[in-house]
Structure 1
Amino acid sequence: MLHAGRLGTWWRGWRWRDDRGDTSIQMAIVYPFVLLATIAVVQASMWFYARQIALTAAREGLTAARAYQASPADGTARAHEVLERAAGDSLRGYSVSVTSNGQRVQVQVSGSAMSMIPGVSGLQVSQSASGPVERWTVPGE
């Protein structure tokens, strides 16, 4: 018959030997999910940043295109200036289109965000801004 004190010691020793390598197995199971979540957060951040760059370029292009006696070409040029300065590798393959009907101007900037996954072209980004064309008016008309 085992003494109560010896039984507790025996049980703790047996349990300790039984758990060896448990942490390594747990890390092997959990680590891929942690890595995947980290990559997803970084990819989402890069997509959001590319959207902000596209929106900034669209807004700047709109400001230039809607100015008094400005043309859509002025808006396109200004949007390209902003993209060349700010986009870097964050917004790739971008394009700018400016449309005007004489009353309103719309500037649309499209491209793709940089991808963390090799071989994948990235997430598509498209932002636009629109506003009325500035014009000279006579008070009271």
Structure 2
Amino acid sequence: MTARTRSGRWNALAARLHTDRGAGSVEVAVLAVVVLMLVFTIIQVGLFYHARKVAQSAARQGVDAGRQYGSSPGDGVAQARDFLTKFGGSVRGASVTSSGSTAEEIHITVTGHVATLVPGLELTVTQDAHGPIERWTNP
């Protein structure tokens, strides 16, 4: 065997040992994990802001109902709960209170948990609204 034949076989063996076979699969697997985490994060942020808007709308509905002439803060709480029953699927275990209300102003607070994609992740949303109560006054 000549030196040239040995070096040719050596080069072929070295080329086989130093190929990038399988590197693409590893890169795709790592990239897929990163992309899935990014997608889940974007969806979770969307769920959080949607639940926040639903809670804010429920509080606003409660204030609108409770500030009308002849209504009470209890009417506002009932209206907010009714709104959450109809549209509040993204706010779980919601509680509605009228604490902080006075004879001149109604204050409705909605608190609940956000639906999550990650097991064990607990996100809470709290939104409130307030407004003056309509009443008759003498000039």
- SS of equivalent residue, structure 2 residue 98: strand
Give the Cα–Cα distance (whole angstroms) in 1 for the partners of residues 119 and 103 of structure 2: 45
Percent identity, please. 38
Structure 1: any 5+ residue segments left out of the alignment? 1-13
Structure 1 stretches of 4+ moved >6 Å: none
Pairwise CA distance, 1:67 = 0.7
Aligned to 2:127: 127
Deviation at 1:87, TM superposition (A): 1.1
In 2, the alpha carbon distance for the partners of 1:105 and 1:73 equals 10
Structure 1 partner of 2:71: 70
Q: How does 1:1-141 map to 2 (within 5 A)?
A: 18-88=19-89, 90-99=90-99, 100-120=101-121, 122-138=122-138, 141=139
Q: How well do the aligned residues superpose, as a CA RMSD in angstroms?
A: 1.9
Q: Could you say what secondary structure the match of 1:18 adopts? A: coil
User: 2:11 — aligned with what?
Assistant: none
Deviation string, structure 1 residues 93-140 (Cα, Å, up to 9, x no partner): 1000013211111000000001101243x31000000111111234xx
With normalisation by structure 1, the TM-score equals: 0.81
TM-score (normalizing by structure 2):
0.82
Unaligned runs of 5+ in 2: 1-14
Letter in 2 for 1:36: M
Match of 1:9 in 2: none
**Which residue identity is paired with 1:87?**
G
